[in-house]
Amino acid sequence: MKKGVMRPGHVQLRVLNLESALAHYRDLLGLIEMDRDEQGRVYLKAWTEVDKFSVVLREADQPGMDFMGFKVIDEDCLNRLTQDLLNYGCLIETIPAGELKGCGRRVRFQAPSGHFFELYADKEYTGKWGLEEINPEAWPRNLKGMRAVRFDHCLLYGDELQATYALFTEVLGFYLAEQVVDDNGTRIAQFLSLSTKAHDVAFIQHTEKGRFHHASFFLETWEDVLRAADLISMTDTSIDIGPTRHGLTHGKTIYFFDPSGNRNEVFCGGDYNYQDHKPVTWLAKDLGKAIFYHDRVLNERFLTVLT
Amino acid sequence: MNRAGYEIRETVSGQTFRCLPDQSVLSAMEQQGKRCVPVGCRGGGCGLCKVRVLSGTYQCHKMSCNHVPPEAAKQGLALACQLFPQTDLSIECLRRQGPGDHNNKNQQEVSS
């Protein structure tokens, strides 16, 4: 958080059908529907999140990610980072407060990978869902489905990884937590963090810009991941792979798809970092084990199925 | 519609399987253990299961316009996961299977 960028705040996803997407994110993942707007977008959050929303669904004729937003510590920081982005040569767009309901002014830029990101300082503080502010109970009793704890990170596919790395580390204050390097020492995957988490956003080298691999949601325990897998079967939801463990981050995971083909992950556990930790490195020749630690082989979908 | 459903013939592999009218071609293929079309997201989003319908009538549910623009759809392109037959169909898989997918539990062929 060296530059005042605090944490992932939201992701806006395009879906082919809003109602089936809502059934997926609300009833299966267990996100809470918080609001809708005149554009027809639906706002959701996971129950431990303190701000009003973290997932926005927008109906469109092509699935994928519109943008991912990061919250910064305050308005001064937002102004400073805006100037830093401009000085770095980024084109920026300012989106007025209220364009997303309950969210303050957003500063949007495109990373060299082709993805759009935005920074904001303010969002309506609604508190953890279903709990009292004082003497909160352990968890609310009326959660649905997988009972996702929080929106955790996105994995994005695009090119120009090195330039993206430079932007995220030098301007935005992320650090490299984990990486995959090829025989020439070129980084083909970079897991970037703002915190002690193994990743707040991750990028994998891909020939096309701006592709979406998955949005990930945190669960507490391995038992919760198995229960999520049960729910995926009960609802006949399209599964990708798992439950299994990643080599990278060592998180325990399952990948599946929303009804429009956007990949989701729910996971638990995983590595932590402090500032004195060196980046964890995996070799590209062992990419199968790095991604799927038990199978030790990639499924074709990991590299090809994107929105 | 003899036996259950319509006959789907994939011309590159020569494989055939049956598909009910309310079942997607990809889902029927997976259920019968065939692998002639690669399986991706199953949601009309990723484009992996793109096919050309060579003959027969069918309906399509919503597909990503990035992979099947409306003009292409009129010319018989479709994503098998969103393709529902109304007669027997002849389809051509447009993506060749990649290597290294032997470990994919969800695509393993069942010998019958």
Q: What is the mean pLDDT of residues A91-115?
A: 98
Give tens-digit pLDDT for A253-275: 999 999 999 999 999 999 999 98
What's the first-to-final CA gap in chain A, in angstroms? 29
In a domain, B112, yes or no: no
Pairwise CA distance, residues A140 & A135, whole Å? 13
Host H or E run for residue A289? helix A287-291
CATH of the domain at B84: 3.10.20.30
Q: Which of A10, A213, A246, A293 is catalytic?
A: A246
Find the domain containing B83 and state its range. 4-91
Whether A255 is catalytic is yes
Count of domains for chain B:
1
At B28, list the tokens.
Answer: 């029927």
At A49, list the tokens.
Answer: 């999140």
In a domain, B105, yes or no: no
In a domain, B109, yes or no: no
pLDDT at residue B102 greater than cutoff 60: no
Give me the pLDDT at residue A199, please.
96
In a domain, B98, yes or no: no
In a domain, B17, yes or no: yes
pLDDT at residue B4 greater than cutoff 90: no
Question: For chains A and B, what is the number of CB pairs under 8 angstroms?
Answer: 82
Give me the pLDDT at residue B98, please.
52
pLDDT at residue B112 greater than cutoff 60: no
Q: Give A153's strand partners.
A: A216
Closest by Cβ to B66, choosing from A62, A239, A305:
A62
At B94, list the tokens.
Answer: 């447009």
Residue from A238, A26, A11 nearest B45 by CA:
A238
Write out chain B residues lying below 8 Å of A239, CB-based.
Answer: 106
Matching residue, tokens 């992701």:
A11
Give residues with Cβ within 8 angstroms of A144, minimum separation 6: A26, A27, A28, A30
Give me the pLDDT at residue B1, please.
54
Give me the pLDDT at residue A300, please.
85
Residue from A91, A196, A301 nearest B45 by CA:
A301
Give me the pLDDT at residue A273, please.
95
Residue of chain B whose Cα is closest to the Cα of A62: B64
Q: How confident is the model at residue A79 (pLDDT cuts 50, 70, 90)?
A: very high
> If you write DSSP's letter for every residue of A200-237 in order, what string do you get?
SEEEEE-SSSSEEEEEEEE-S-HHHHHHHHHHHHHTTP
At A141, list the tokens.
Answer: 């009793």
Give tens-digit pLDDT for A11-52: 999 999 999 999 999 999 999 999 999 999 999 999 999 999
DSSP state of A197: B
- Report yes or no: A307 at the B interface, CB cutoff 8 Å: yes
Q: Which of A49, A165, A214, A293 is catalytic?
A: A214
Whether A274 is catalytic is no
Q: Mapping DSSP to helix (H, G, I), strand (E, B) and coil, where does residue A84 land?
A: helix
Q: How confident is the model at residue B97 (pLDDT cuts 50, 70, 90)?
A: low
In a domain, B104, yes or no: no
Write out chain A residues lying below 8 Å of B64, CB-based.
Answer: 16, 61-63, 260-261, 307
Q: By the 8 A CB rule, do A32 and A47 touch?
A: yes
DSSP state of A103: B
- Report yes or no: A241 at the B interface, CB cutoff 8 Å: yes
Give me the pLDDT at residue B85, please.
98
pTM above 0.90, yes or no: yes
Give the distance between the most distant pair of CA atoms in chain A: 55
In a domain, B56, yes or no: yes
Task: Tell if the CB–CB gap between B43 and A260 is shorter than 8 Å.
Answer: yes
Pairwise CA distance, residues A283 & A285, whole Å? 5
- The alpha carbons of chain B give a radius of gyration, in whole angstroms, of 13
In a domain, B73, yes or no: yes
